[in-house]
């Protein structure tokens, strides 16, 4: 089984300003991969781009973009075309979660969650995949979650979007495994990033948090192995197998109890 060849490659990473996205940028830069860094925080992106360009002598392009905007993908593509870049690696990492009782959460915020977690990866993959197929070489990593493994009460939209991303990624893996393009659904559990600062609920973090560095190292190893999906960590993998041993109803009741807000009277 051939390891992925990073020589001469360019990677586009969404959500690159922090957490898993930032670590992907650092690891790929160390392999000599040129970077297109996408996120909302221009100052953080530029600082990261400058640091990695200086350390590794790579080319970088910063694209400041809110992926919840309806014109986000066309804007990104326009800037890629202007720079005459066609990424060989796409890492759809940007995403966030809303937490709470579904009907009590703002619909607009949940709509943004679907846009960023689902529509943005679909649109970017649809735009960039054909050139990879034509070259017979490329990779797509979609950052899903262990939340994809079962419905998630109080994080209903988040779990559904990650289940979508897992299914979408595995279907693309099957379609493209003979066409030179690798597709990996990365399913980390709780990770030590700013993700839970946005969620603002400690009970949404299940299990010991893994370091982002470890998650990315495992993901790149899985890409070398041409895996279709990866659940990071033994305990997370075991939790992902519960659906094999208990009914969906029982699994839902377990998940509801674990994820229930501390202030809930349900």
User: For the segment 177-209, what is each residue's pLDDT rounded down to a tens digit?
Assistant: 999 999 999 999 887 666 555 555 555 555 677
Q: Is residue 265 part of a domain?
A: no
Question: H or E element: which one contains 243?
Answer: none
**Spatial distance between the Cα atoms of 87 and 262, rounded to a whole number of angstroms:** 44
pLDDT of residue 190: 84
CATH number at residue 167: 3.40.50.720
The 8-class DSSP code of residue 40 comes to: S
Separation CA 139–CA 101 (nearest Å): 37
Q: Are 235 and 208 in contact (CB under 8 A)?
A: yes
CA 16 – CA 259 distance, rounded (Å)? 28
Percent of the chain whose pLDDT exceeds 90: 79
Say how far apart CA 203 and CA 258 lie, in whole Å.
7
pTM, entire model: 0.90
Q: How many other C-beta atoms are found inside a 10 Å radius of the C-beta of residue 218?
A: 18
- Domain that includes residue 113, residue range: 10-259
On whether residue 4 sits in a domain, the answer given is: no
Domain assignment of residue 1, yes or no: no
- Residue 147 sits at the vertex; the CA angle it makes with 68 and 252, to the nearest 5 degrees, is 125
Structure confidence by residue, pLDDT tens digits, 135-175: 999 999 999 999 999 999 999 999 999 999 999 999 999 99
What residues act catalytically?
158
266 within domain boundaries: no
Q: Would 183 be classed as within a structural domain?
A: yes
Give me the pLDDT at residue 192, please: 65
Q: What is the pLDDT of residue 205?
A: 53
Higher pLDDT, 193 or 95: 95
Number of domains making up the chain: 1
Q: Which tokens go with 26?
A: 């650092």
Count, residues in the chain: 266
């Amino acid at each position: 089984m051939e390891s992925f060849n990073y020589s001469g490659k360019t990677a586009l990473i969404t959500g690159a300003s922090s957490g898993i996205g930032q670590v992907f940028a650092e690891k790929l830069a160390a392999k000599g991969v040129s970077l297109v860094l996408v996120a909302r925080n221009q100052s953080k992106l530029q600082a990261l781009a400058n640091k990695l360009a200086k350390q590794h002598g790579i080319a970088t392009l910063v694209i400041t973009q809110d992926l919840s905007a309806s014109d986000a993908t066309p804007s990104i593509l326009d800037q890629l075309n202007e720079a005459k870049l066609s990424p060989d690696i796409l890492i759809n990492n940007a995403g966030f979660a809303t937490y709470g009782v579904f009907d009590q959460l703002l619909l607009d915020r949940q709509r943004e969650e679907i846009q960023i977690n689902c529509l943005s990866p679909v649109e970017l993959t649809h735009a960039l995949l054909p050139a990879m197929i034509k070259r017979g070489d490329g990779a797509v990593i979609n950052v899903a979650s262990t939340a994809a493994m079962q419905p998630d009460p109080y994080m209903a939209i988040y779990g559904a979007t990650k289940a979508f991303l897992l299914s979408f990624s595995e279907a693309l893996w099957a379609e493209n495994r003979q066409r030179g393009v690798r597709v990996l659904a990365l399913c980390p559990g709780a990770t030590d990033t700013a993700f839970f600062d946005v969620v603002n609920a400690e009970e949404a973090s299940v299990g010991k948090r893994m370091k982002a560095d470890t998650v990315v190292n495992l993901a790149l190893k899985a890409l070398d192995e041409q895996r279709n999906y990866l659940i990071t960590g033994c305990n997370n993998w075991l939790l992902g197998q519960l659906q094999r041993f208990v009914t969906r109803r029982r699994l839902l009741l377990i998940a509801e109890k674990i994820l229930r807000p501390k202030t809930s009277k349900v």
